[in-house]
């Protein structure tokens, strides 16, 4: 691949600024661009992109594409897909990287359909071998690492959050800002956003947390999570959950970890009252250290845990929390 080709990184924004995970996608983009002898570009979309575009220039990119339109003020799948496909048609990237956030889980398949492009989701690493980009992702709940190639132009790639070390910003901005006119079509949109409710997550964000305390059906009731929150506060950890506590309304739906929830890769994951279904493991098996607390010594979670405690969480958690308070005081 020659240098006239480029690797494009889609950067999400939050209140006009870059989403912190964009730096992870830029890391993957840079690795791919270096290996493929391609240029590195970023794309920022919104109704006012000035701040985010300027931020993006600090990551050593050759250019920042901006797609600005009033309809892009907040995420809407159809408008964003339309606009990003227009950017891709103009920029003709070889590959597009984006972090597998909830927004991207909606956007990436739409874009793949719109561009008739191949899409590899949830990649945790990449390598370039003889000019070919290989994308590595865990399959079968992390029991097998699969290697994928891309045979379309562009190829689309989503990245598992926290799998790539965020690229550091430099003090010197670099790269030109290239405005691409986009025209998301309100008339042909098949969905309308009726209301947006900002769910203010309490405490630390799950997707970027270095430590997570997660509860399962074994917690038994919403109030049971108070014990987990006390331990999480002591550890500086975020609260996560398996699916049942979310379905039962004990914790917000966005706390769900797993195949149909967040995929996380913290340094420490404490699974409390969670049996360890394959669907739950799909979201947390990438954690560096897994601790399981479960009253059933045969629970599946112990098969992947680095440390395990067999017991009733109501007895175990207060003791651990108190000990942690003493150690960390
Ligand atoms: C298509 C699909 C997608 C899914 N996506 C997800 C997903 O994203 N995330 C997810 O988590 N699940 C998902 N599920 C559900 C999944 O199959 C399991 O049903 C779920 O993970 C089980 O949650 P659990 O381990 O909390 O509950 P259980 O399997 O009921 O386990 C509860 C555990 O708590 C222990 N326990 C009970 N009381 C105590 C106590 N007092 N102290 C200590 N331990 C105790 C028990 O021994 C048991 O091991 C999905 C299912 C499907 C079909």
> What residue owns the CA closest to ligand 1's atom 37?
218
What the block records as the tokens of 290 is 């897994």
> What residue owns the CA closest to ligand 1's atom 48?
275
What the block records as the tokens of 313 is 């969480």
What single string gives the DSSP state of each residue in 37-103?
Answer: T-EEEEEEEES--HHHHHHHGGG--SEEEEEE-GGGSS--HHHHHHHHHHHHHHH--SEEEEE--HH
Q: Cα of 273 to ligand 1 centre, how many Å?
A: 8
Measured from the CA of 299, which atom of ligand 1 is nearest? 49
Residue 145 has pLDDT above 60, yes or no: yes
Q: Cα of 274 to ligand 1 centre, how many Å?
A: 5
Residue 141 has pLDDT above 80, yes or no: no
What does residue 307 show for φ and ψ, rounded to 5 degrees?
Answer: -135, 145
Please, what is the end-to-end C-alpha distance for the chain in angstroms? Answer: 55
Q: What is the pLDDT of residue 200?
A: 61
Q: Cα of 258 to ligand 1 centre, how many Å?
A: 10
Ligand 1 binding residues, C-beta < 6 A: 216-218, 242-244, 256, 258-261, 273-275, 277, 279-280, 283, 293-296, 299, 312-313
Q: What is the pLDDT of residue 150?
A: 96
Report residue 54's pLDDT band, with 50, 70 and 90 as the boundaries: very high
Q: Cα of 138 to ligand 1 centre, how many Å?
A: 21
Higher pLDDT, 264 or 223: 223
Q: Cα of 234 to ligand 1 centre, how many Å?
A: 25
Mean pLDDT over residues 261-278, rounded?
94
**Strand blocks (E) in 119-262:** 119-123, 125-129, 132-139, 144-148, 155-159, 176-179, 211-215, 238-241
Report residue 2's pLDDT band, with 50, 70 and 90 as the boundaries: very low
- Max mean pLDDT range (131-145, 257-271, 305-319): 305-319
> Is the CB of residue 83 less than 8 Å from the CB of residue 184?
yes
Measured from the CA of 312, which atom of ligand 1 is nearest? 42
- Domains along the chain with CATH numbers: 6-179 (3.40.50.620), 206-328 (3.40.50.1220)
What the block records as the tokens of 236 is 């500086």
Q: Cα of 153 to ligand 1 centre, how many Å?
A: 40
Query: Among candidates 286, 239, 281, 288, which has minimal Cα distance to 267?
Result: 288
Distance (Å) of CA 203 to CA 19, 108, 221, 229, 234: 18, 29, 20, 10, 12
Q: What is the pLDDT of residue 201?
A: 59
Residue 1 has pLDDT above 70, yes or no: no
Rounded to two decimals, the pTM is: 0.77
Measured from the CA of 245, which atom of ligand 1 is nearest? 26
H-run or E-run covering 235: helix 225-235
Residue 227 class from Cβ within 10 Å (0-12 exposed, 13-18 middle, 19+ buried)?
buried
Average pLDDT of the chain to the nearest whole number: 94
C-alpha–C-alpha distance, residues 318 and 152, integer Å: 54
C-alpha 229: how far from chain center? 23
Report residue 196's pLDDT band, with 50, 70 and 90 as the boundaries: confident
Q: Cα of 309 to ligand 1 centre, how many Å?
A: 17
> What residue owns the CA closest to ligand 1's atom 38?
218
Which among 142, 216, 219 is the best mutation to test ligand 1's pocket, defined by most ligand atoms within 8 Å of the CB? 216
Q: What is the pLDDT of residue 143?
A: 78
Pairing of strands 144-148, 132-139: antiparallel
HSE-CB for 230 with a 13 A CA cutoff: 16
Query: Among candidates 20, 24, 25, which has minimal Cα distance to 10?
Result: 25
Query: Among candidates 150, 151, 146, 122, which has minimal Cα distance to 136?
Result: 146
Mean pLDDT over residues 294-307, rounded?
97
Q: What is the dihedral of CA 268, 269, 270, 273, to 10 degrees?
A: -170
Which among 218, 295, 315 is the best mutation to test ligand 1's pocket, defined by most ligand atoms within 8 Å of the CB? 218
Q: What is the pLDDT of residue 202?
A: 63
């Amino acid at each position: 691949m020659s240098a006239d080709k480029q690797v494009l990184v889609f950067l999400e924004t939050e209140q006009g600024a870059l989403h912190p995970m964009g730096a992870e996608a830029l890391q993957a983009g840079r690795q791919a661009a270096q290996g493929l002898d391609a240029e590195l570009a970023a794309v920022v979309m919104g109704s006012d992109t000035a701040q985010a575009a300027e931020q993006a220039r600090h990551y050593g990119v050759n250019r920042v594409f901006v797609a600005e339109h009033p309809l892009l003020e907040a995420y809407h799948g159809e408008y964003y897909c339309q606009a990003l496909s227009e950017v891709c048609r103009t920029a003709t990237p070889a590959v597009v990287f984006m972090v597998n956030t909830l927004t991207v889980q909606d956007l990436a398949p739409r874009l793949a359909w719109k561009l008739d492009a191949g899409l590899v989701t949830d990649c945790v690493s990449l390598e370039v071998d003889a000019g070919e980009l290989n994308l590595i992702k865990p399959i079968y709940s992390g029991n097998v690492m699969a290697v994928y190639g891309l045979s379309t132009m562009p190829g689309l790639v989503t990245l598992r959050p926290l799998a790539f070390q965020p690229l550091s910003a430099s003090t010197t901005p670099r790269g030109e800002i290239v405005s691409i006119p986009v025209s998301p079509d309100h008339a042909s949109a098949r969905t309308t956003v009726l209301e947006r409710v900002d769910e203010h997550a309490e405490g630390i964000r799950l997707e970027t947390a270095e430590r997570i305390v997660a509860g399962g059906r074994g917690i038994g009731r919403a109030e049971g999570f108070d014990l987990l929150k006390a331990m999480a506060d002591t550890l500086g950890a975020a609260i996560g959950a398996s699916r049942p506590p979310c379905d039962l309304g004990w914790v917000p739906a966005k706390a769900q970890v797993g195949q149909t929830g967040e995929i996380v890769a913290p340094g420490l994951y404490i699974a409390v009252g969670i049996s360890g279904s394959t669907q739950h493991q799909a979201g947390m098996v990438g954690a560096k250290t897994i601790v399981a607390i479960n009253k059933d010594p045969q629970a599946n979670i112990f098969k992947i845990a680095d440390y395990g405690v067999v017991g009733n969480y109501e007895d175990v958690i207060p003791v651990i929390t108190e000990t942690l308070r003493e150690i960390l005081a």
